[in-house]
Each structure stands twice: as C-alpha cells, then as structure tokens.
C-alpha cells in the first residue's frame, strides 16, 4: 500500500479537533489508517480524537499477526474500537472540561483482498477506481436516517441544517457498535478516509476527479484541501488516501 495523509484547521475553527494516524507494520504485513473527528468543546474534541487514534492503533499493534483473514481483521478492529471508546470515556470522567467529549472514527486495515474498513459516526471511507467513486461506509447521523426513509434526498442532506448531528460516536455510551466492511481493491485503486469537513465542501465527483488527475497522493490531498478552503472550510479537514500497489511496485 502507498499511503498519504493531511489535516488542516480550516478557515473558521480556532483549533484542529481532527486527528489521524498511519502505521505500516512490516512484521505483520498490514497497513493501518485511522481518522477521527472530535466533538465536545475545543479542548474535549481534540483530546477525544487523539485518545481514540492512539488507543485504536496501539491496541491493533498488539494483536495483528500475518495471514489474518478479513473476518479476523474485522473482529480485531471492532475490539480496538471498543477499547478506544473506553479510553475516551475514562478520560472524560477525570475532568469537567472533558465531560461531554466524543469522537467519530473511520479506519482501514490492509489485507490480501484490499482493506477492512470500520466506522462509527459520520467520517467516511470511499472506494475510488479510474471510473467510479463508491461510499463504503454508512453515516450514523440524523440526515442519513432521513435519506434512508426517503424524507430528503442525498443532495438535500448536504445542505440540511442538522447534517452534523450524529447518532453514534465514541465516548457517550459504555457500549459502542462499530460497522465493519470488507472492501476489495485491485492494484491501482484507492481508498479515501476523511472527516466531514471534506465531505461538506467537496463533492464525490470532485474527489474522483482529483484522485485520478493528480500524479501523486500528496498533490491530490493538497488539491482537495485547496477546494475545501475555496468554499469556506468551516470545519477541520482531514483525509488519508491509500492506494493498492501491484507486485512490481511493491518490490
């Protein structure tokens, strides 16, 4: 896997409450990527996202071994998410400043078939090929439920005043349910993980165009951030781009 990442405060927020991490494990052969978008006040949001990222990655590093099946990786990811949830809750109980903090999480673990994706909240994963972009994850949000019921369209959801109200996050509840997906990737295909700061300002079609237009992942992410900022970037913007390499590139 080739991997690139970027995070930016945006043009309105005073602090960056997003966090991300990339770990390439040569011992187990896995690449682990995670993006978190914190909530609960300036200090709390940043604290929650960083705790979740560090705990999630740290716990996976203890249990990943070579030749794990996609189902085993999905179970390992779910376990790491539950421990990240517990870590955020424990930190919240230690200070009134952090009492209401929480965070979204979207992650990917590389495997022979492509990647195992997990998510809680409204940070997203997209599968991108030369000709199409497909959202892998389902948002745990009020507007997503409205779209599924047919109350509003997906385009209306992008502009809805309650589009940032999420129904599931790490931190608020003792038990957390994590969605898991197996995303096949062919050589040359991409997986994009991102916070809603990117989703709210850049369309799916623009993501597809920029990924396929740019010569490198760094250039692609810089361009996506530029588009977001040109439209106000009211929220923090974070993205991680993974590309599956072919055998010749991996050598």
Q: What is the pLDDT along the chain (251 residues), one digit of tens a residue?
A: 999 999 999 999 999 999 999 999 878 889 999 999 999 766 789 999 999 999 999 999 999 999 999 999 999 999 999 999 999 999 999 888 888 899 999 999 999 999 999 999 999 999 999 999 999 999 998 887 788 788 787 777 777 777 778 899 999 999 999 999 999 999 999 999 999 999 999 999 999 999 999 989 999 999 999 999 999 999 999 999 999 997 666 54
Q: Which residue has the tokens 């945006």?
A: 10
Q: Are 193 and 107 in contact (CB under 8 A)?
A: yes
In whole angstroms, give the CA distance from residue 74 to residue 179: 9
CB 122 within 8 A of CB 138: no
Closest to 155 in 3D by CA, of 216, 107, 200, 90: 200
C-alpha 193/C-alpha 179 separation (Å) is: 15
Spatial CA neighbour of 111 closest among 56, 73, 80: 73
Domains, in order of start, for the chain? 2-250 (3.60.40.10)
For residue 142, what are the contacts with CB-CB under 8 A and spacing of at least 6? 162, 163, 165, 166, 167
* Integer angstrom CA distances of residue 2 from 118, 149, 187, 225, 242: 19, 38, 11, 19, 6
pTM over 0.85: yes
DSSP state at residue 113: T
Compute the distance between CA of residue 65 and CA of residue 73 in angstroms, rounded to an integer: 10
Rounded to an integer, what distance in angstroms lies between the CA atom of residue 166 and that of residue 141? 4
């Amino acid at each position: 896997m080739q991997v690139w990442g970027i995070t930016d405060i945006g043009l309105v927020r005073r602090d960056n409450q997003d966090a991300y991490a990339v770990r390439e494990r040569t011992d187990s052969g896995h690449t682990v990527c995670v993006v978190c978008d914190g909530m609960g006040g300036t200090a709390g949001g940043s604290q929650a996202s960083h705790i979740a990222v560090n705990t999630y990655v740290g716990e996976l590093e203890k249990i990943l071994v070579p030749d794990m099946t996609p189902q085993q990786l999905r179970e390992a990811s779910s376990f790491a998410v539950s421990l990240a949830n517990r870590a955020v809750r424990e930190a919240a109980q230690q200070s009134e400043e952090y009492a209401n903090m929480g965070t979204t999480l979207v992650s990917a673990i590389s495997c022979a078939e492509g990647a195992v994706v997990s998510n809680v909240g409204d940070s997203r994963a997209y599968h991108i090929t030369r000709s199409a972009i497909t959202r892998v994850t389902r948002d745990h949000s009020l507007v997503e439920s409205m779209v599924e019921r047919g109350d509003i369209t997906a385009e209306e959801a992008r502009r809805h005043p309650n589009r940032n109200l999420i129904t599931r996050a790490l931190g608020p509840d003792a038990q957390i349910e994590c969605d898991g997906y197996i995303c096949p990737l062919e050589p040359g295909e991409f997986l994009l993980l991102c916070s809603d700061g990117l989703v709210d300002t850049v369309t799916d079609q623009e993501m597809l165009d920029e990924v396929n237009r740019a010569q490198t992942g760094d250039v692609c992410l810089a361009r996506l951030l530029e588009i977001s900022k040109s439209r106000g970037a009211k929220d923090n913007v974070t993205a991680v781009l993974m590309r599956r390499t072919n055998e010749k590139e991996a050598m």
